[in-house]
Structure 1
Amino acid sequence: MLMDLTELVAAAVRRPYRCKDCLYAGLVVHIPDALLRRTLAPLVDVIDPVARLRVRFLVDLSDDPEQRVTRTSWRRWLATGRSTGLY
């Protein structure tokens, strides 16, 4: 079950953005950190820079599970400048 959830989140990261994809970020708190990182780690090296940013965003969310995920979370995260680190 957790692996299916993790793969669902990874698929949302890999594909072009679709309406409501931002809602997948809320699932991150239900995935064990090690499993999430193991699944997303290969995606850090993808060519698409937006996919890399999505991976970093999800990893940051997993580091702070108390953070509330809203429609503006992504833009707020980009504005903080934390998007420059790999993990």
Structure 2
Amino acid sequence: MEQKLTFQYDRVADILHISTCKPYPEQESEEIGDDIIARLNPGTNAIENLEVLFFSTRLLRSDIFELPVLANFQQSRQIHA
């Protein structure tokens, strides 16, 4: 099932949340890179959420920010007014 990505930045904690669904207790958590936490679907092991810790300081350190995940971007057909 295709899902949209949502981005939410927590300024107090300095964490960027990238999600395809709301986090839920059954998700497994795994650090997949330099302070990047993946929340995985317990049945499929697919990444459903990412948490990028210390996000603002990452942007100050480098001109490029990469995530250690693969992506297949497609335009959403649904248009919001």
What's the TM-score, normalizing by structure 2?
Answer: 0.24
Q: Which has the larger radius of gyration?
A: 2
More helix by share: 1
More strand by share: 2
Q: Which has the higher contact order (CA 8 A, sep 6+)?
A: 1
What's the TM-score, normalizing by structure 1?
Answer: 0.23
